[in-house]
Amino acid sequence: MIRTIAFLLLSAALFTAPPPDTHARPDTTGHNASSDTTLVVGSKKFTENVILGWMATQLWRSSGLAADHRAELGGSRFLWEALVRGDIDAYPEYTGTLVQEILSVTDVTRSTLEETLAEYGVSTTEPLGFNNTYAIGMRADHADSLGIKSISDLRRYPDLRLGFSNEFMDRGDGWPSLKAAYDLPHEARGIDHDLAYRGLRAGQIDVIDFYSTDAEIGAYDLRVLDDSRNHFPEYRALFLYRAELDEQAPEAIRQLRRLENRLPADTMQQLNKQAKIDGIPEQRVAARLLNQTFDLAETVTASTTSWVERLETRSVEHLILVGLSLGLAILLGIPLGIIAANVRIVGPSVLLLVGVMYTVPALALLAVMVPLVGLGRTPAVIALFLYSLLPIVWNTYTGLNDIARSLRESAEALGLTRMAQLFRVELPIAARSILAGIKIAAVINIGTATLGALIGAGGYGQPILTGIRRADLGLILEGTVPAAVLTILVLGTLEATERFVLPRGLR
């Protein structure tokens, strides 16, 4: 039994050892930006936004500013909350998204946008030049065969399969309002934007939403349906940034403003094509454009890292996420399981609470965490910790609850105190069940930790997200294979440790 308790405590200590947080946001409050102050650019998880994010990052670096790019941080709400909190300094956004989605609870209009943003401590550049509005479309050959030219024409074909990006499904100018505006009889399902294009090409979906500068429209011969009722507003691209940078880092803002009115729609579509169709990394696409436009060939370069270097970095990030969250779950989950099994008044409430927490969708939990604790490792660890509690608490409870009454009575007859019964009789008998819960939690944790990439926590989820966006199987495998190998190694380690710490009679 002593070995069992020692194993559990040692595991928790190892898992919760706080390594340096490489995702911590530098404190720039009250200081002028200098070489030791790192400015952070964020971007959403679609190609165009990543390219724009790299443009800002590289312009800052070319002017002597230290800058990092946190790419593919999920949707608009993640980036907005991070900007308002000060976790990032700037990110590319669109006027339509600001008016229709982020600030939809206010009476903001395009003319009052700057005043409203100022209330949040946010400023904006002028538009960059192109309008990337939403559009509805389908394969050109399919549209021609049905005689469909506009969104209104869809009403004649209620059996068409509609698949829209998940964000579009709930936006103020998205599917609900589009359906009402055109009186469409269809039902739509949510799907990742990049996967929707593949479904459309494969004939599994008939109609999807486009961004009007998407490279796939021309490359795959797709038809943009006429928005005859002008449902979609303008989506002029611009940069949002923390207003205090006007005084703290005026050079950074001057560099952002160099992009104003320099990117027409056809240029942006061509940049998207280079990244998505031709497979050129976004960092390099952005560098080429900046070098051609501003003659910065000597200062703007697209650095690359080897597969081994990426694997090492992502492995460390993933192990930190899993180790910290699982260790905390062990420290709290076992005591909660003991309470659930022995304190009848609160036991059912404990089990119900951890069960309900486990049913909260991971993305929803991350979205709640970002406004509270920001981007990076901290919200990811908290979310993973909450998900790891269920198997540990329930297995501890079950292992203790299933102990035969005769054994408990024998322990009482020997005159053992209640604590002695727990640590010398009950926990050793329940140890296999407890360790099984830890194994289950570890497997769940390793897989779920890939979602941490959506909020800048890194890990194996980063190449997976990038691979899905680029339709690059190699990048997807770069994240999934190491995650699978890590799961096997962790399970093997826990299995070997179990044989070591359990008394021979309980093996």
3-state secondary structure 459-490: CCHHHHHHHHHHCCHHHHHHHHHHHHHHHHHH
Q: CB-based contacts of 402: which residues, under 8 Å, 6+ apart?
A: 430, 433
* The pLDDT of residue 108: 73
**What whole-number distance in Å separates Cα of residue 269 and Cα of residue 416?**
76
Q: For the chain, 507 residues long, give each residue's pLDDT as a single digit of tens.
A: 444 444 444 444 444 444 444 444 444 333 344 445 899 999 998 889 999 999 999 999 998 999 999 988 877 888 998 899 898 999 999 998 888 888 876 777 667 888 889 999 999 999 999 998 889 999 999 999 999 999 999 999 999 999 998 888 887 778 999 999 999 999 999 888 878 888 898 889 999 998 889 888 888 889 999 999 989 888 999 999 999 999 999 999 999 999 999 999 999 999 999 988 888 889 999 999 999 888 776 555 555 677 788 888 889 989 999 999 999 999 999 899 888 888 888 878 888 888 888 888 777 777 777 778 777 788 889 888 988 899 999 998 888 887 777 777 676 777 777 777 777 777 787 888 888 899 999 998 999 888 888 877 888 888 888 887 777 788 888 889 999 999 999 888 888 877 777 666 665
Task: Report residue 222 as tokens.
Answer: 């797709």
* The pLDDT of residue 506: 60
Greatest Cα-to-Cα distance within the chain, rounded to the nearest angstrom: 88
**What whole-number distance in Å separates Cα of residue 25 and Cα of residue 227?**
43
Read off the pLDDT of residues 95-128 as tens digits, 9 standing for 90 and up. 988 888 888 767 776 678 888 899 999 999 999 9
Bridge partners, residue 123, by sequence: 241
Task: Report residue 420 as tokens.
Answer: 């002695």
Q: For residue 135, report the phi and psi dihedrals to the nearest 5 degrees.
A: -150, 160
Q: CB-based contacts of 16: which residues, under 8 Å, 6+ apart?
A: 323, 324, 327, 328, 331
* The pLDDT of residue 498: 77
Task: Report residue 44 as tokens.
Answer: 């959403």
CA angle 497, 502, 504 (to 5 degrees): 120
R_g of the chain computed on alpha carbons = 27
Read off the pLDDT of residues 446-486 as tens digits, 9 standing for 90 and up. 998 888 888 778 888 888 888 877 777 888 888 899 999 99
Read off the pLDDT of residues 426-451 as tens digits, 9 standing for 90 and up. 778 788 888 889 999 999 899 988 88
Task: Report residue 34 as tokens.
Answer: 């200098």
Q: 407 near 425, Cβ under 8 Å?
A: yes
Exposure string for 304-320, b = 16+ CB within 10 A, e = fewer: eeeeeebbeebbebbbb
Q: 121 near 192, Cβ under 8 Å?
A: no
**What whole-number distance in Å separates Cα of residue 364 and Cα of residue 74?**
12
Strand order in the sheet with 38-42: 66-70, 38-42, 90-94, 237-242, 122-124
**What whole-number distance in Å separates Cα of residue 317 and Cα of residue 72?**
16
**What whole-number distance in Å separates Cα of residue 399 and Cα of residue 410?**
18
Q: For residue 106, report the phi and psi dihedrals to the nearest 5 degrees.
A: -105, 175
**What whole-number distance in Å separates Cα of residue 200 and Cα of residue 191?**
11
Strand (E) or helix (H) holding 44: none
Bridge partners, residue 66, by sequence: 38
* The pLDDT of residue 50: 93
**What whole-number distance in Å separates Cα of residue 403 and Cα of residue 406?**
9
Read off the pLDDT of residues 300-325 as tens digits, 9 standing for 90 and up. 555 567 778 888 888 998 999 999 99
HSE-up (13 A, CA, CB side) for residue 40: 22
DSSP string computed for 217-245: HHHTTEEEPB-TT--S---BEEEEEETTH
Exposure string for 157-196, b = 16+ CB within 10 A, e = fewer: eeebbbbbbbbbbebebbbeebeebbebebebeebbbbbb
* The pLDDT of residue 504: 67
Strand order in the sheet with 207-211: 188-191, 162-165, 207-211, 134-139, 222-224
**What whole-number distance in Å separates Cα of residue 70 and Cα of residue 466?**
13
CA angle 32, 38, 40 (to 5 degrees): 110
**What whole-number distance in Å separates Cα of residue 391 and Cα of residue 365?**
18
DSSP string computed for 63-84: TT-EEEEE----SHHHHHHHHH
